[in-house]
């Protein structure tokens, strides 16, 4: 750790998202951006220059060099998914705490190797799902956990769509079979699945069923898919996801329970940084003659002093500091969240590969 | 028709919804509420008294008597679904124009007998889907039809849920196998299916698939179900419905296209009578560093001088007047809408009966 007790981060890979997280590391009070590495020193220096980091961070022309730097406490790794296994395991072996971009791995077998490496090397693991760290998410949870005003969850619908160019659909890293073979399911479906598991307190569904509307690019990578989730036989919740690189950019989370319902249409990336909201309705019924409602959706607004990505970094660094300074054991909540998400994502992929047959977990 | 050229309505059956439509007939400028019939004269008189109609409408103690009254031009029929076939056919045979409450019939075979009776007797048919007559619905259509701002429809999600008592779930008319054997699918799913067909310009899906979360009451009537709709192989739209008597009262319609998306959370019954809104977003993308959006949902508000049920009555009466006064042929749009809705509803029912197997249309 640095002299002022902050966790020193190295960033491995200069993906677009690294710019956002570099800023987040600077914003988080317990973190310092210490170094960045790319496959060439020129790219690392260019990234530093473009992001106002020249002179303040070390630049490395290889990932290995950064991992060998003893001053790096933790790494943020926004590499293509197919490279996670190698570099994440290596980072753990080098005793670097690991903030790994989602999707965490190509499948849960790979993720288990990464998690095992983290555990055996005593380093913290967390994936880059920023929205889980927004105070709005905690407020949403509070609402759906309230039995009188919300009650048992009946249906969860989560979607994440992003409009991309034709060129992107064929050649972007995120849809290349050798780099991000999970395509839209890995990139966007990760959030949809994560939101459903989050709402269900990470209780795994028993049946996962992709619906027959899968679209793939010419290399066979998923561009769009839909799936349903069931918790048979005793739990009556049904959940659906839809993720797509074909549709207009949108991200909806709608949850209905016995006594209430809510809508959030920017759950992954809030419309604005400092505050975010959702709509909540409870106890709705129709007025006399069914010519209107007794209640309207109420907007619940939550202020956030730091953007959610900085809160993610702050939480991660807090755990790292606990390990480094106070000898705590790595927190197990975050790796478990990642693993459950990956398990369900794998099941959707399997259902698609089986021609949209139900997959039992 | 009356001396002042208004269409004279008779109401057959004193269901709760009849009170709303009785008011709507009074509000519609081209309609008059002329008579009401129940199975006993006492019930008809009580209905008249409770709704401020005493002395202004005729009351009949049998449906036959009302149908035999030559002054009745049109009937509104909110009877339990299992009674539709008999009474709707009889009404048509008595040359009464027919505004029939939804679901129109227990299956499309029954509906075809009703429609055939209407056609051969030259009377107008329309079902009681009020929301289709709200000017907001026309505005929604305008938005999703705009190729630049909305584009091809990728996903449609429509839900309709209503919180009812345990007692209702077992013994209300709407969940009794001998009265409304379609349960929540017929009562609420009718709207969900109708909204999807409306969005798709009534193009029938090729595959209908109930999802394995069906809940039934002890008599085997559907209390809750979910289904997906596909227009394979060339059309990439996917649609899902969820209807339930178990959840909090809610009604969502969310549609995403290539270039835009919209949300309407009161599409069946607007929050208020005189105006209604929906949220629309087009051209959304993230701002620099993905720390917010370039646009927010825009609320589009539509004023309605008359409530949607009065607009429905007005449209129906306009068509009836065209037939009675000007010798027009009955309009075919409304019966076709009803029939397509019933065909898809039947397919969902069949998929459920087959254990949630896909049904091809």
CA distance A261 to chain B (A): 7
Q: What is the pLDDT of residues A251-267, one digit of tens each?
A: 999 999 999 999 999 99
Determine whether the interchain pair B291/A284 forms a contact, defined as Cβ–Cβ distance below 8 Å.
no
CA–CA separation, A119 vs A339, rounded Å?
A: 14
| pLDDT at residue A232 tops 90 | no
pLDDT band at A235 (very low <50, low <70, confident <90, very high): confident
CA distance B320 to chain A (A): 25
Q: Which residues of A touch B296 (CB under 8 A)?
A: 271
Determine whether the interchain pair B250/A238 forms a contact, defined as Cβ–Cβ distance below 8 Å.
no
Residue B232 pLDDT: 83
B37 C-beta neighbours (distance < 10 Å), count: 27
* B247 → closest Cβ in A23, A155, A291: A155
Largest Cα span, chain A: 73
Q: Which residues of A touch B282 (CB under 8 A)?
A: 248
Determine whether the interchain pair B248/A258 forms a contact, defined as Cβ–Cβ distance below 8 Å.
yes
Residue A116 pLDDT: 98
Helix (H) or strand (E) holding A231: strand A222-231
Residue B254 pLDDT: 97
* A226 → closest Cβ in B238, B257, B258: B238
Residue A75 pLDDT: 98
A257-281: b or e for each residue (b if 16 or more CB lie within 10 Å)?
Answer: bbbbbbbbbbbbbbbbbeebbbbbb
Q: Beta partners for A126?
A: A99
CB distance B105 to B349 below 8 Å: no
SS3 A270: coil
**B228: closest CA among B348, B108, B346?**
B348
Determine whether the interchain pair A272/B249 forms a contact, defined as Cβ–Cβ distance below 8 Å.
no
| pLDDT at residue A124 tops 90 | yes
Question: What is the distance in angstroms between the CA of the first residue and the CA of the last residue of chain A?
Answer: 42
pLDDT band at A250 (very low <50, low <70, confident <90, very high): very high
Q: Which residues of B touch A271 (CB under 8 A)?
A: 292-293, 296
- Give the best residue of A47, A78, A262, A291 to mutate against chain B (max B CB count within 10 A): A291
Is the peptide bond preceding residue A78 cis, with omega within 30 degrees of 0? Answer: no
Q: Which residues of A touch B232 (CB under 8 A)?
A: 212
SS3 A185: helix
CA–CA separation, B13 vs B72, rounded Å?
A: 15
pLDDT band at A183 (very low <50, low <70, confident <90, very high): very high
Percent of chain A surpassing pLDDT 90: 89
Q: What is the pLDDT of residues A133-162, one digit of tens each?
A: 999 999 999 999 999 999 999 999 999 999
Mean pLDDT over residues A58-82, rounded? 97
CB distance B248 to A151 below 8 Å: yes
CA–CA separation, A83 vs A36, rounded Å?
A: 17
Determine whether the interchain pair B254/A257 forms a contact, defined as Cβ–Cβ distance below 8 Å.
no
Residue B73 pLDDT: 98
Q: Beta partners for A226?
A: A242
Handedness of CA A124, A125, A130, A132 (dihedral sign): negative
CA–CA separation, B117 vs B120, rounded Å?
A: 5
Joined together, the tokens standing for residue A213 give 């509307």
CA–CA separation, B107 vs B182, rounded Å?
A: 9
**A158: closest CA among A254, A62, A63?**
A254
Q: Give the residue from chain A lying closest to B247, CA to CA.
A: A258
- All domains in chain A, ordered by first residue: 7-128 (3.40.50.720), 132-307+342-360 (3.30.360.10)
| pLDDT at residue A7 tops 90 | yes
**B352: closest CA among B196, B246, B243?**
B243
Residue A2 pLDDT: 84
Q: Which residues of chain B carry a pLDDT beneath 50?
A: none
CB distance B138 to B328 below 8 Å: no
Mean pLDDT over residues A12-24, rounded? 94
Determine whether the interchain pair A247/B154 forms a contact, defined as Cβ–Cβ distance below 8 Å.
yes
CA–CA separation, B9 vs B37, rounded Å?
A: 11
Name, in order, each residue with C-beta under 8 angstroms of B109's C-beta and a sequence gap of 6 or more.
none
More confident residue, B173 or A220: A220
Q: Give the residue from chain A lying closest to B249, CA to CA.
A: A284
B77 C-beta neighbours (distance < 10 Å), count: 24
CA–CA separation, A348 vs A210, rounded Å?
A: 6
Residue A171 pLDDT: 86
Q: Where are the alpha helices (DSSP H) in chain B?
A: 16-27, 41-50, 63-68, 84-93, 108-120, 135-144, 166-171, 183-184, 190-199, 308-326, 333-353
B356 C-beta neighbours (distance < 10 Å), count: 19
- Give the best residue of B166, B247, B297 to mutate against chain A (max A CB count within 10 A): B247
Side-chain-facing half-sphere of A302: CA atoms under 13 Å? 23
Q: Where are the alpha helices (DSSP H) in A145-281?
A: 166-171, 183-184, 190-199
Helix (H) or strand (E) holding A258: none
* Distances from the Cα of B284 to the Cα of A247, B125, B253, B262, angstroms: 11, 42, 19, 12
* A286 → closest Cβ in B246, B269, B290: B269
Query: Dihedral, CA atoms, B67, B70, B73, B79, nearest 10 degrees?
Result: -10
Tokens 């998202």 appear where?
A: A17
Using DSSP bridges, classify how beta strands A222-231 and A207-210 pair: parallel, antiparallel or unpaired: antiparallel
Query: Dihedral, CA atoms, A266, A270, A276, A281, nearest 10 degrees?
Result: 10
CB distance A302 to A139 below 8 Å: yes
Residue B163 pLDDT: 87
Indicate if ipTM > 0.85: yes
CB distance A246 to A238 below 8 Å: no
Determine whether the interchain pair B163/A271 forms a contact, defined as Cβ–Cβ distance below 8 Å.
no
Question: Which DSSP state fits A165?
Answer: -
Mean pLDDT of chain A: 96
Q: Where are the alpha helices (DSSP H) in B134-262?
A: 135-144, 166-171, 183-184, 190-199
């Amino acid at each position: 750790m640095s002299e002022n007790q902050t966790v020193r981060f190295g960033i491995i890979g200069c993906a677009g998202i690294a710019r956002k997280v570099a800023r987040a590391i600077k914003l988080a009070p317990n973190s310092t951006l210490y170094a960045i590495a790319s496959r060439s020193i020129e790219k690392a220096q260019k990234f530093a220059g473009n992001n106002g980091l020249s002179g303040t961070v070390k630049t490395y022309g290889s990932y290995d060099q950064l991992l060998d730097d003893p001053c790096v406490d933790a790494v943020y790794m926004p590499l293509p998914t197919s490279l996670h296994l190698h570099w994440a395991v290596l980072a753990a072996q080098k005793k670097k705490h690991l903030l790994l971009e989602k999707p965490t791995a190509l499948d849960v077998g790979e993720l288990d190797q990464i998690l095992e490496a983290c555990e055996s090397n005593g380093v913290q693991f967390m994936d880059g799902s920023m929205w889980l760290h927004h105070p709005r998410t905690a407020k949403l949870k509070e609402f759906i956990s309230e039995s009188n005003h919300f009650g048992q969850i009946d249906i969860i619908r989560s979607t994440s769509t992003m409009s991309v160019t034709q060129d992107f659909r064929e050649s972007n890293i995120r849809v290349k079979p050798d780099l991000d073979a999970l395509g839209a399911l890995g990139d966007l479906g990760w959030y949809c699945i994560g939101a459903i598991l989050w709402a269900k307190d990470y209780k795994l569904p028993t049946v996962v069923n992709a619906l027959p509307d899968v679209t793939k690019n010419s290399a066979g990578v998923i561009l769009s898919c839909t799936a349903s989730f069931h918790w048979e036989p005793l739990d009556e919740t049904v959940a659906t996801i839809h993720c797509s690189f074909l549709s207009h950019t949108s991200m909806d989370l709608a949850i209905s329970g016995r006594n209430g319902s809510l809508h959030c249409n920017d759950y992954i990336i809030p419309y604005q940084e400092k505050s975010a909201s959702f709509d909540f309705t409870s106890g709705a019924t129709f007025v006399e003659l069914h010519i209107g409602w007794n209640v309207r959706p109420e907007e619940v607004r939550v202020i956030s002093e730091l953007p959610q990505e900085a809160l993610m970094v702050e939480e991660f660094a807090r755990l790292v500091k606990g390990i480094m300074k106070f000898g705590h054991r790595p927190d197990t909540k975050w790796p478990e969240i990642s693993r459950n998400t990956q398990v369900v994502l794998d099941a959707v992929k399997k259902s698609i590969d089986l021609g949209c047959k139900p997959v039992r977990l």
